[in-house]
Amino acid sequence: MTATKSTLIKKITTLGILLTLTASSFILNAATQSEPDPTIKEVFTGETVKVSRLPENIYLRDPNDPDDIIWDRIPTYRIAVNAAPPVHSSTLLRFNPAQNGQVYFQLARTADRFYVRMRWKDATDNSAKTVDAFSDSAAIQFALKGENTSYMMGTGPDMPVNIWFWTASDTDVQNLAAGGFGSTTHLPEQTVTGKATYKVDKNPQNNQRRLVMSREIKTKGKHQIALKKGIVPIAFALWQGEDEQRDGNKMVTLGWVLMDLAAK
């Protein structure tokens, strides 16, 4: 074998090794970046989380600003979300049990208003909803009749749920109620407001969606969750537009977290 040919083979071999190492590093880095933040307390369904009380002398310029510095003073929790069980035959075609993620959330209140802040990693900003594209969305669900209510849209009309639903393709938050699959209804009183931001990172795997939804504690109307005091079951849901998630094809907390409103 000539020296020139030998050198060429060595160069090709070295290049192949470098490409393999680079690809492996990229895959490992992407996997690492998608790992949940271990410095934030993980909670599980069935556990109780206290709602933080904001000082009465704190006035937010925008009550729904997800980037307000006040959130740096509020405890953050994380909880796993997994593919929602296919409770209806139409969702079987799109059911992917491997879909999962983490939602980071904060709960706060004043004497007059209740707030939920959510954030999650989202590599793509899917804000448009068209015939062949779907929007990123999120929802908070409250059980109106206690934790024995099914976390999958309630347990019939006698054990319904109140749902706050946000979607990136709409600036308004929808105030909904449901008493079982297929019964979701817009409430006459649209009392919930919200706002979201999308933060881009140099690594797309770390792009992040931040969302605040809030409501005055005192409100009128049927199927509105009572937020003055006591324990309220709460659950979270996410839809990733990039993965064509919509309707029952979503990621959810597989049960309730018990929210302690801690009125005093």
pLDDT tens digits, residue range 226-254?
A: 999 999 999 999 999 887 878 777 899 99
Q: Whole domain around residue 186: which residue ranges?
A: 39-260
pLDDT at 263: 57
Same domain, 73 and 15: no
Beta bridge partners of 82: 100, 252
* Number of domains into which the chain is organized: 2
Whether 250 and 237 have beta carbons less than 8 Å apart is answered as yes
Same domain, 185 and 147: yes
Same domain, 73 and 156: yes
Same domain, 125 and 175: yes
CA angle 105, 107, 109 (to 5 degrees): 160
pLDDT digit string (tens) for 163-215? 999 999 998 999 999 988 788 999 999 999 999 999 999 999 999 999 999 99
Q: Cα–Cα distance between 159 and 99 in angstroms, integer?
A: 28
- State phi, psi for 30 to the nearest 5 degrees: -60, -40
Q: Cα–Cα distance between 149 and 159 in angstroms, integer?
A: 6
- Residue 93: which CATH number? 2.60.40.1190
Same domain, 136 and 252: yes
Whether 178 and 168 have beta carbons less than 8 Å apart is answered as no
Q: Cα–Cα distance between 167 and 174 in angstroms, integer?
A: 9
Same domain, 50 and 14: no
Q: Is the pLDDT of residue 29 over 80?
A: no
Same domain, 89 and 16: no
Q: Is the pTM of this model over 0.85?
A: no
Same domain, 7 and 91: no
Q: Which of 210, 114, 237, 221 is nearest to 175 (CA)?
A: 221
Same domain, 22 and 80: no
Same domain, 173 and 113: yes
Same domain, 25 and 150: no
Q: Is the pLDDT of residue 135 over 80?
A: yes
Same domain, 213 and 121: yes
